[in-house]
């Protein structure tokens, strides 16, 4: 039988792009781009909304909250690089497939197996907040009361004693290809408990019986005749009155997403303002709802096999119609909660046509992506921007 082949990455030959002529332009034909045109979005509300409506675009004074609605576009997380064909450097077998030097490795569909050229692989990580393009509508509201931001990250306790550190060292030796893990572990244990040229061990404060017990525990062997295991800490504690130093330390363990609750009061003063309040509530309710994936007529009542994500939002504080010079900034957000109290005055009261005289709308937004140090690179000393994210 032939031995296993070695492999050489050979750059993928470049091919001419095939296309079709369409309106004096060349359109690249690629698999999967023949999508059915999306149905036009139904918008039972104005594109531009604001409360109170008495304030015109030329009278934008004071501080306001601007809410822009966008179609959700998923973030992009992938590996990319320069593609290459795998070329064997000698004859051999891959499973049942015979390959010859200078040939090509193919899959069961007779397609050439490809990989990345060495040194060209990289990670593409583009957050969803960077991929929002199509704005559906925007709403401008008086700035809510009790606004705040809260930035948090997660740190957690971490412990690692000398034997856990030894296991990590053995694993690193094994990953380096020098030894298998069992052999590497034995070398580490011998380094901890073996005697030097003077007959001394690294743990001279522990009697030989305890050292043997700890070595047995580390090696995964039964210490007692009943087959029970004794932890190194228990063995040392019972025999020598000591415990292993756990080297307790607080380590960074992750990032968190921020949430923003807002409360907005409405007191419509005219039929036009009543309709505007109704449009604002309707627009936000419809945008936070999931979309049925049933444009083809499949399961029109409860949607098809999949549901599409709701719309997402960009928030911004404005001062006299421009970016606020002090308050915090936002990343793109999802509207995760919405409640409307139609009896904000404490009792049910409406105008003649049925509009409540006082309403309270509570919104909870949550950012799509965490905040990073690099997000502050756009800020400069003595600039006119706010406090940041």
Instruction: Supply the pLDDT for residue 248.
Output: 92
Percent of the chain scoring above 70 in pLDDT: 58
Distance CA 80, CA 122 (A): 6
Instruction: Supply the pLDDT for residue 25.
Output: 37
Could you give the angle at the alpha carbon of 133 between the alpha carbons of 327 and 127, nearest 5°?
Answer: 70
Distance CA 7, CA 26 (A): 38
Helices (H), strands (E): how many in the chain?
Answer: 5, 21
Distance CA 184, CA 170 (A): 5
> Which two structure tokens, joined as six digits, stand for 308?
């599409």
Residue 62 binned pLDDT confidence (cut-offs 50, 70, 90): confident
Spell out the domain ranges in the chain: 1-31+76-126, 44-72+129-155+258-376, 162-247
Summarised one tens digit per residue, pLDDT across range 279-316 is 999 999 999 999 887 555 555 666 667 888 999 999 99
Residues sharing a CB contact under 8 Å with residue 3, sequence separation 6 or more, in sequence order: 90, 91, 92
């Amino acid at each position: 039988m032939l031995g296993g082949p070695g492999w050489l990455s050979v750059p993928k030959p470049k091919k001419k792009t095939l296309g079709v002529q369409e309106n004096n332009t060349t359109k690249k034909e690629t698999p999967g781009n023949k999508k059915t045109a999306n149905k036009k979005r139904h918008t039972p509300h104005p594109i531009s909304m604001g409360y109170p409506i008495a304030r015109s675009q030329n009278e934008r004074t004071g501080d306001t909250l601007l809410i822009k609605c966008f179609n959700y576009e998923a973030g992009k997380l992938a590996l990319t690089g320069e593609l290459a064909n795998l070329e064997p450097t000698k004859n051999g077998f891959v499973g049942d497939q015979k390959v010859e030097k200078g040939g090509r490795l193919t899959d069961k569909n007779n397609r050439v197996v490809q990989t990345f050229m060495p040194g060209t692989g990289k990670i593409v990580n583009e957050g969803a907040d960077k991929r929002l393009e199509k704005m559906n509508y925007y709403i401008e509201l008086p700035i809510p009361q009790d606004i705040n931001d809260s930035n948090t990250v997660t740190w957690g306790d971490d412990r690692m004693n000398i034997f856990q550190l030894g296991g990590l060292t053995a694993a690193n030796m094994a990953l380096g290809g020098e030894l298998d893990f069992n052999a590497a572990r034995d070398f580490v244990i011998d380094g901890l408990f073996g005697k030097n040229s003077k007959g001394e061990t690294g743990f001279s404060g522990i009697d030989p019986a305890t050292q043997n017990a700890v070595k047995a525990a580390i090696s995964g062997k039964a210490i007692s005749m009943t087959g029970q295991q004794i932890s190194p800490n228990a063995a040392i504690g019972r025999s020598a009155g000591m415990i292993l130093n756990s080297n307790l330390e607080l380590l960074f363990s992750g990032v968190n997403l921020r949430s923003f609750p807002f409360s907005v009061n409405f007191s419509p003063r005219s039929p036009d303002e009543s309709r505007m309040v109704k449009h604002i509530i309707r627009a936000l309710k419809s945008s936070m709802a999931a979309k049925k994936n049933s444009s083809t007529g499949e399961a029109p009542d409860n949607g098809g096999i999949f549901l599409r994500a709701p719309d997402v939002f960009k928030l911004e504080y404005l001062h006299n119609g421009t970016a606020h010079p002090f308050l915090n900034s936002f990343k793109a957000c999802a509207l995760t909660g919405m409640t409307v109290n139609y009896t904000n005055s404490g009792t049910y009261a409406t105008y003649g046509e049925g509009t409540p005289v006082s309403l309270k709308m509570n919104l909870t937004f949550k950012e799509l992506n965490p905040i990073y140090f690099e997000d502050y690179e756009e800020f400069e000393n003595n600039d006119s921007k706010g406090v940041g994210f």
